[in-house]
């Protein structure tokens, strides 16, 4: 039975409850057949630590107490998924703000306004109505998931944490007597980050006493 703090390999499919439209999955074939495939996504089971919200809150909570190898289907209300719709997140913005940046606003266009992503809902009267809520806010969701296996190897656990935290795929981990030297060809981390990374990692993988940021050749 899965408990908080366990590292596991997870596969899942997320869909809208009302329409059954699939919006997220770890299965590449499912992604392609539902026209949501992204070449930037690394498909396949993901390794997560239970209780760390490496997946959305509702799924993370539901994983506790489940059995490895069994498929489950759960329904998540908005407050356990991407939140309820917040009227304050729908804002009217002057059209001139967009035209100055060479943007021709139109309904349905995703825009970045002062660092916040939103979707244009309406354009008229010299103003643009933008919704900054998450696109899935207010939606009831259905998740089908299966925990494929428990991850016991500490180096594999560390690689998973690094991948989740820094969004880089390929990590080299040299783990000896509780000291882990890590490096990646995808991203260069400053050596001084090692202390903060050590504190985070040791809390989840107690056998790792120190993390050292190495450099690739």
Strands 179-184 and 210-213: parallel
Contact 51, 176 (CB under 8 A): no
Residue 135 CB partners (closer than 8 Å, separation 6+): 82, 119
Name the band, by pLDDT with cuts 50, 70 and 90, for residue 217.
Answer: very low
pLDDT exceeds 60 at position 200: yes
The domain ranges of the chain are 1-83+137-152, 87-131, 153-217
Summarize pLDDT for 11-47 with one digit per residue, the tens. 999 999 999 999 999 999 999 999 999 998 889 999 9
Residue 162 CB partners (closer than 8 Å, separation 6+): 168, 171, 173, 182, 184
Q: What is the DSSP letter of 191?
A: G
Nearest to 193 by CA among 178, 208, 175, 211: 211
Summarize pLDDT for 76-121 with one digit per residue, the tens. 999 999 999 999 999 999 999 999 989 999 999 999 999 999 999 9
What kind and span of H or E run contains 13?
A: strand 7-16
With a pLDDT cut of 70, the percent of the chain lying above it is 99
Domain 153-217, architecture per CATH: 2-Layer Sandwich (3.30)
pLDDT score of 170: 86
pLDDT score of 216: 59
What is the third-level CATH fold of 1-83+137-152?
Chitinase A; domain 3 (3.10.50)
Instruction: State the average pLDDT for the chain.
Output: 94
Q: Phi, psi at residue 211, to the nearest 5°?
A: -120, 125
Which listed CATH number (2.40.40.20, 3.30.565.10, 2.40.10.330, 3.90.79.10) goes with 87-131?
A: 2.40.10.330
Burial of 138 (0-12, 13-18, 19+ CB in 10 A): middle
Say which residue the tokens 């107490």 belong to. 65
pTM for this prediction = 0.84
pLDDT exceeds 90 at position 214: no
């Amino acid at each position: 039975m899965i408990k908080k703090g366990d590292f596991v390999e997870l596969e899942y499919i997320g869909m809208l409850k009302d329409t059954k439209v699939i919006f997220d999955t770890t299965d590449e074939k499912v992604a392609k057949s539902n026209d949501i495939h992204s070449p930037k996504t690394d498909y396949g089971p993901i390794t997560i630590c239970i209780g760390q919200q490496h997946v959305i809150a509702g799924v993370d909570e539901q994983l506790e107490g489940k059995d490895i190898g069994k498929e489950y289907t759960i329904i998540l209300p908005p407050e356990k998924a991407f939140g309820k719709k917040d009227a304050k997140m729908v804002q009217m913005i002057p059209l001139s703000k967009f035209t100055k940046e060479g943007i021709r606003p139109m309904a349905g266009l995703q825009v970045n306004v002062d660092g916040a992503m939103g979707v244009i809902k309406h354009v008229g009267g010299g103003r643009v109505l933008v919704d900054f809520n998450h696109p899935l806010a207010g939606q009831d969701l259905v998740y089908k998931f299966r925990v494929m296996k428990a991850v016991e190897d500490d180096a594999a656990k560390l690689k998973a944490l690094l991948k989740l935290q820094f969004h880089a795929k390929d990590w080299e981990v040299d783990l000896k007597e509780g000291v882990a030297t890590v490096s990646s060809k995808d991203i260069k981390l400053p050596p001084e980050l090692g202390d903060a990374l050590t504190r985070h990692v040791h809390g989840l993988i107690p056998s790792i006493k120190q993390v050292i940021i190495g450099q690739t050749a």
